[in-house]
Structure 1
Amino acid sequence: MTAGEALAEALGREISMEEGLTTEPGGTVVAHWNRLDHYTDDHRIGESASWADHLAEPSLEHPLVSGPDGDRRAILHITARLHPLDRELNHAEWSEIGHRIARAAGIAPPGDDAACRWIAVQGQPGRLDVIANLIRDDGTWSAPPRRLMQTLVTEARNVAADLLLHSSPQQGAGPQQHPSAGPAVTPSPRVPTATSPLAAILRQLAAEQSGPIAPVRQLVEEVVRQAAALPGDQTDAAARDLFWAARRLYGLQEQLGEIASRLQPPAPPAGLAPARPVQAPAASRVSAR
């Protein structure tokens, strides 16, 4: 899931260079990271495609940074939905929810000027989307809380109570009672599995430019170039053999990457709730992306 795909999901339509998303009161972007105005000439309005590019920039600026398991999928997308019986919220209330979700998810620690880039988008009725890049502005990875789902469920309870929104039935309530209510929160972190450590090791080996196999392959390729520049049949034959040796090393990296993918399948696309979504007991559902 890219920043552009997450933003398109939040808006319910494709992003473009024609549509502007404003941060003014009543605008679509109701909350954002605290140094946004430091990085943009006009932080009050921008095209939807430019917002996506802005969120994606840390991934491009820090190409070697990855999560604890070696995963480079840095876009976190959290969706909050109101219960159908909830009242309409104003801009300030949506903004408060956005900031509270960002703090609960660990992407906006108070007073941290090098934290993640994130925005909260109120682009569809009764819905708020928080989109963040987990690569911090200082080039380090900002992992969400270990138990992100539970953390957001707890915050959903607090939001529902503070904003007088509908609350879900208490744990153990009978089936005749109403299901969940209030703002539904849906995050999308990757869920670790028993094979995650093995997959992480294989991904490191498979890294085309930064893995431990890469320097060997690159050194062989350099010897190929030097041998090819020398005269003589023997050096020509050596260059051909070395070329195929380098190709086999590259093939080995690809094979290791495929095995890693099988050991740890990719997370579901951002914006989709898990097959069995956890109902937030406080007027909010939480879904991880």
Structure 2
Amino acid sequence: MIPKIRTGTGGTYGLIRYLYGPGKRDEHTDQHIVASWNDFAPDPGRNAHHSIAQLAAQLDQPVKAVADRAPATTIWHCSVRADPGDRHLGDTEWAAIARRIVHATGIAPEGDTTACRWAAVRHADDHIHIAATLVRQDGRLAGLSFDRRKAQAEARLIETEYGLRRLTPGDGTAAKNPSSQERFKAERTGRTATPRETLREAVRQAVAGAASEEEFFTRLRDAGLRAKLRHAPSGDVLGYNVALPGDRNADGEPVWFAGSTLAPDLSLPRIRRRLDAGPATDTTEPDGRIAGSARSAPARRRRDAADIAERAVVVLDEDDDEAAAQLVGAGELLDALAQTSPAATRAELREAARAFERATRSHIRAENADIRALRSAARGIVHAGGALGRGEDGGATAMVLSTLVLVAIAAARWHSARGHAQQAAASRQAAEHLRAAYQQAAATPMRRMREAGQALPADERHRHVTTIRTVLGGDQEPSATAGDGGHGKLAQARVP
């Protein structure tokens, strides 16, 4: 069950008209009140003699009574939505849920007859909207503090008591979700994602392996984003804003997003902290090939990254708080791979990077951890350019992906041990996408190694089979698991 709170100014007429209207796409049906402050509020949906204006006027009456003493923010709007898999809730149940939410948040504590006025409107099977005004009937202002946090806590209790799907509680480190208005605009303009989501991904990729603040801003612009810096009177850069070309508001102006509004760790101070704590060393290749070898630069950098990622798994398994930094570095490595990997694996890698982003943020700070190796690996992958997905590139891609499956599994265990439910779930989701990407990347290298193995003399093939089975244990099929040094078996490990 998801409560979502917004506040606004002015009267409630516009909100009530929307709640009783047809919706954006005629999705509102059977609009009616399930509960209100006095249980006698006018209901335009069920009584032809009542109007939207009457309901809005009664809600707004305490605000108008205080006249000039009214606060700047007067409207409180909370939508409460059930999970799609939850059972159908009747009006009586939704009414009880609405009363619990207004009690928990301080809008209308139970037994307080002079609290704020409110009405819960239902216009769909799976959710209600609570509209309230923030001046109490006794003329005092509503005593709201941490209302969003309290609504979430009450929702967790409601889920348990009503037998609904229990959502994982948040810890305040998640990125802000796009609003309904942003999603409607994206659909209207033919975008597959909202500008907020697109910008968040682009900024993450720009910071992956960046060696300096200047390089980070250059990457933003090279990615085609509009970027502007915010300066102090002294000239020092305080922050930055980004916008998508062509994304404009009603006045024709660019829609700007500050880094901190995209995600908590994308503010300029947080990015600076990452750049200072884990400076990425220069990994520029003189050309596309490693001297004296047929191995390409992308393949070399992926093999290096696999070795470094294996060390991150060891740190995560040690169950130390310093491992929090390793998750940040692993996230950069994933972002680097997502923008440079072959087309066959790119979609799964982008989904893995989006999921793992949540796993990189928690309240645990690893102040002294060294993530230079991971950041340098990410930098090397970005500078080496795109991998082709065949030959040595394909094998190296499969190798680093199988290692990152282990990183994601270790991250899930590390977060679970600390009660970080959302981050643990995100780690598991990332592991599933990484496993799918690995299977795509490994298909061709595995087939070629199988063909090469079948061409070996029988005695030599039998000797290799015996060795591989001894190393892997059990009766593993060598042709399916041994081609990348055992990484194929590791990539099949179950996520805890």
Q: Which protein has the larger Cα radius of gyration, Structure 1 or Structure 2?
A: 2
Which of structures 1 and 2 has the larger relative contact order (alpha carbons within 8 angstroms, sep 6+)?
1
Relative to its length, the structure with more helix (as a share) is: 2
TM-score (norm 1): 0.49
